Chains A and B, each alone.
Chain A
């Protein structure tokens, strides 16, 4: 499986955890507070073990960037470890480590988030550190000069030497002409080369404020006590006006777009991406996004789902296939089907195979049993999700950043359970059309280096 949805981690990379939306939870366990400075606090009680996840989510990601300084949201994420008036560069990580904590941060198109996981008695200390860098970040130019080199190494590692990432980058830049979703989260290399410390500082001054932040805490905590703690550390930080977020809406697509990427690889890849609606916070009863989520699951939600069965096992057109759709996002959504072509198969054959599988759904619909299987899975997942304190906080934060409330998680799950085969068929018919389609093809190139040596 390739990662089309780009989420950059300072330390690690995950696929979207929100792909199938929905984790329900009795509201008794979850508590919401607002501080007078606009900071939102959500606490999920889970007393299974004496540990806590502490996260700060800023509603500022690469979709808030402009051309010329792409990647600055992620660069600032790195610089957040470079010291404040009180804490010198590198000290943040050392202090968290001394508490036995695990920490990291990640940037996506929609948000930037920072987290620590600690034994519960250590929460105080890490919260003090996190609150401090919300307002007192103070890095010097020398630190920036070294760290931008690290970010460029990160881009070389994740993108320049990675054909999957190059393909994904071209797909997004082709599908979107105007939406800032066209830019990679890590930024274009040229923008990184020309990035200045002042760009990162300005980003910090614009977006890092309590009124643009949500603190999510999950684990073995007493909510009232934690509320007081959050007031103590974050409560004194002043709100300030945020920059105006201009809409930057993508103009309507008028026909098929296609992009070819030549990169070192052995096999060809084909990705087909359609512009589709996503769930809107003010229209949470719109069934179409749920039906699209279930369509993706019917196509690729379990081992014997349609795409794998038909394209990999029966017709042998592909060695791997996947379908992806994320209904929870701030920006425009894509419904994506990708395939690693089997040896000897052409892109045209793979495309025809994918189109045939999708046409089957559009023309003949899906079986009750297929949909039931997915819906059963959604329910058992509600139990499995409770195993991870960290995962619960991730899910809440992701929902909140897209403009939803954690309270919507229940609604989402309920509506997913009520979607019918007819509704799944209807969205396949309505949205998977050529007028909104972008096709990206990886055209594999041999590397210059000698294969013989590599095979020794």
Chain B
């Protein structure tokens, strides 16, 4: 599902939301740490269901340079079979048990973390069985060679297919331009996937899947004591320590470069040119987060009312989708803007986008743009937390990024406090046109 074809990450990013009445009644409770694992809970009693997200500090940024895909495969195969002294479960048995419980269980890996998500009814017998399954897949994945080989084949096929897609090719090249030698610049390839072995997956699991690298976030119909027990159950079979984990390299600020060094053209015979522009920016806990976030709403984050949308789409009809966003996490994330347009309009569209971003960095938003941004963000706060799923996203993000537990309570206040000067200063501090990487795929020269 895509809003103006923006990546979903944008929605997650803005998901750190809002005001008062609702979350005053729904505080985030911090549970006691167990074996180093942290737990957070928001109790919502109106529906007999429970959502759990387990974050493990085991994302793709830990991939060795020649082993891209290691973290993804390690995490992605968690639910494809378990083996322990207590017995074995095949992937089929796991899938059948999840289905018989009427539960959802999914696994995935992002740049920063591995994630297990569970949704189940809160009835204690169902909940206990779902949590028990999650404990097994988290602790004892079996990494059967036949399953690994099959998944490698599927991933390779998916990669080869993706390489025929303009958005994927653009994104991969853009990430390489931005991240350079930082591990997130190395996307997995057919070759890197082919080289991964069962013993490497097991070793990565041993090294990174430790209780002190786990955060459990919960939203739903459980009390504090039950939630505490869930955290203990989930991580009880994990080791608390393991082999040393080398520190991540520093992600350096995008350098000042000539346009010739910053701009990449990729020939591609699609009907549309795809354009991406951006640079490294900030981590989520940066004090300038709010000025940048509010400012970006006015620039290219505010959907139909953003300046980029107005200039590129509404005034000129150049594109269906145009956007900008920051992706801040534990790491310094990126700023990115982009659009797609008919090939022969690419340079015109790029000019319009570039001029508007440059002007915004130079002068910030107008007062009316700032007022409009605040009005939307503040008035719309309740929509950010009006169901369990959205609450879970917020709780998990607060926990992962080490933000204050009252972040939701102070959110609108912080939005309201942002001034034009702060936005202008922050945009100039973190962004600069002569540091922006530009990747253009498919335009006819």
Contact = CB atoms under 8 A, between A and B. Distances in A.
Interface of A: 11-14, 48-51, 81, 89-90, 93-94, 97-104, 117-119, 122, 145-154, 156-157, 160-161, 163, 264-267, 301-304, 309, 312-313, 316, 319-320, 340, 342-343, 373, 376-377, 379-381, 383-384, 386-389, 444, 447-451, 453-456
Contacts of A98: 372, 375-376, 379
B102 interface: yes
Given A97-B302, A387-B389, A153 B340 contact: yes
Contacts of B121: 380, 383
A90 B386 CA distance: 28
B153 A161 contact: no
Interface in B258-289: 266-272
A11 B4 CA distance: 5
Contact of B382 (A11, A119, A447): A119
Given A13-B2, A51-B386, A309 B381 contact: no
B269 A448 contact: yes
Contacts, number: 223
Contacts of A319: 153-154, 157-158
Contact of B271 (A13, A122, A161, A320): A161
B376 A97 contact: yes
B375 A149 contact: no
Interface of B: 1-5, 21-22, 44, 46-49, 91-92, 95-96, 98-104, 119-121, 150, 153-154, 156-158, 160-161, 163-164, 166, 169, 173, 176, 189, 266-272, 302-305, 310, 313-321, 340-342, 372, 375-383, 385-389, 442
B159 to A, nearest CB: 9
B306 to A, nearest CB: 10
Contacts of B319: 150, 153
A312 B2 CA distance: 28
Contacts of A150: 313, 317, 319-320
Given A48-B387, A153-B272, A454 B47 contact: no
Q: Which 8 A-B pairs have the closest CB atoms?
A: A100-B379, A380-B102, A100-B380, A149-B317, A304-B95, A49-B386, A303-B95, A146-B317
Contacts of B120: 380
B268 A48 contact: no
Given A48-B46, A90-B310, A387-B388, A373 B304 contact: no
Nearest to A147: B317
A14 to B, nearest CB: 5
A383 B49 contact: yes
B332 to A, nearest CB: 24
A376 B120 CA distance: 12
A97 B307 CA distance: 14
A380 to B, nearest CB: 3
B176 A266 contact: no
A419 to B, nearest CB: 17
A192 to B, nearest CB: 13
Contacts of B100: 373, 376
A309 B304 contact: no
Contacts of B104: 384
Contacts of A101: 376, 379-380
Contacts of A267: 157, 160-161
Contacts of B173: 454, 456
B157 A340 contact: yes
A266 B160 contact: yes
A97 B304 contact: yes
Contacts of A381: 102
Contacts of B96: 304, 373
B385 A49 contact: yes
A373 B2 CA distance: 31
A94 B372 contact: yes
A99 B372 CA distance: 9
26 contacts: A13-B2, A49-B382, A50-B386, A90-B314, A94-B372, A97-B302, A97-B304, A98-B379, A100-B377, A102-B380, A119-B379, A146-B316, A149-B318, A153-B317, A157-B272, A266-B157, A304-B99, A312-B154, A343-B157, A373-B99, A380-B121, A384-B119, A389-B386, A449-B266, A449-B442, A450-B267
Given A12-B1, A309-B92, A266 B164 contact: yes
A97 B383 contact: no
B189 to A, nearest CB: 8
Contact of A387 (B47, B156, B268, B313): B47
A131 to B, nearest CB: 20
Given A146-B315, A313-B92, A387-B387, 5 more contacts: A51-B382, A99-B376, A119-B382, A153-B320, A377-B102
A49 B219 CA distance: 15
